[in-house]
Amino acid sequence: MALGVRIHPNGSTKLLAKAESLTRRVGAVFVRPAGSGQEQRYQALRRRASRELLDWLGDHDPLLGGGLVTQAIHEAARSLAGFDEETNGHQKRTAELSGGIGARLLLEGPRLRTLVTAALLHDVGKLFVPKGLLIRPGPLTAEERKLVRDHSSKGEIWLRQRGVPGEVAAIVRWHHERWDGSGYPDRLSGEQIPLESRILAVADAVDAMVSLRPYHPGRTLAEVRRILREESGGAFDPAVVEAAVSFWE
């Protein structure tokens, strides 16, 4: 599942093909297989993909603002590893899927790299949320929901304080906005929401649905497709939904 591609001024076509190929493989791996042997292979593939994705961004981040981006990625990874390893892994898997959806929607070059970088950092604001709220299986109070929802705006602030480019921080801020205007923190709707944030919203939801969580079992890919299509035009941009589900049809 190598992602070690070099990006040159005329290399966007190769990037698109590489990202699409990666995401097809990631899509096959995302559904948790049965049996201990399959499970071990599944986890090994995830770890390898995560390492290679970080290495790739480290090679290319001068196009996104230099070493500040790499420093932020690794600081976030270290901090989240000590706080909530599942959030750390979720960010990496979401970055893989975001890159593939973005490529399918013809994002190229710096714009695609910006999307993948934002996806790798999108939940860093959860460092400011009490861990118990992130794993509680029961309902949250209104005050607790606000604490959880504040993670997107706090993540934006955390990134800006570290010199990460504003376009990356903005994608992070708006990754929980919804197509129909029901999201947060700013209740944007439709094309008021940057395309990159709309892509990240779908990728984020897909990984959350297929992953085992304390509050729900992992869903099958068929269930994920059904839910995405039910929310098309509601929570999610219809074009992004179709780009996502097309990988598995």
Convert the pLDDT of each residue in 5-46 to its tens digit.
Answer: 233 333 334 444 444 444 444 444 443 444 455 445 545 544
Asked if the structure places residue 1 within a domain, the reply is no
Name the band, by pLDDT with cuts 50, 70 and 90, for residue 191: very high
pLDDT of amino acid 58: 53
Name the band, by pLDDT with cuts 50, 70 and 90, for residue 177: very high
Asked if the structure places residue 4 within a domain, the reply is no
Cβ proximity of 90 and 211 under 8 Å? yes
Judge whether residue 129 has pLDDT over 70: yes
Indicate the number of domains in the chain. 1
What is the distance between the alpha carbons of residues 117 and 237, in angstroms, rounded to a whole number?
A: 21
Cβ proximity of 91 and 123 under 8 Å? yes
pTM of model > 0.85 = no
Asked if the structure places residue 2 within a domain, the reply is no
Domain with residue 43: its CATH number is 1.10.3210.10
DSSP 8-state class, residue 190: G
Tell me the two tokens of residue 92.
């990496």
Residue numbers of the domain that contains 235: 12-248
What is the distance between the alpha carbons of residues 73 and 59, in angstroms, rounded to a whole number?
A: 13
Asked if the structure places residue 152 within a domain, the reply is yes
> Which candidate, 148, 119, 146, places its Cα nearest to that of 215?
148
Asked if the structure places residue 7 within a domain, the reply is no
Cβ proximity of 50 and 92 under 8 Å? yes
What is the distance between the alpha carbons of residues 113 and 11, in angstroms, rounded to a whole number?
A: 13
Asked if the structure places residue 5 within a domain, the reply is no
Judge whether residue 181 has pLDDT over 50: yes
Asked if the structure places residue 3 within a domain, the reply is no
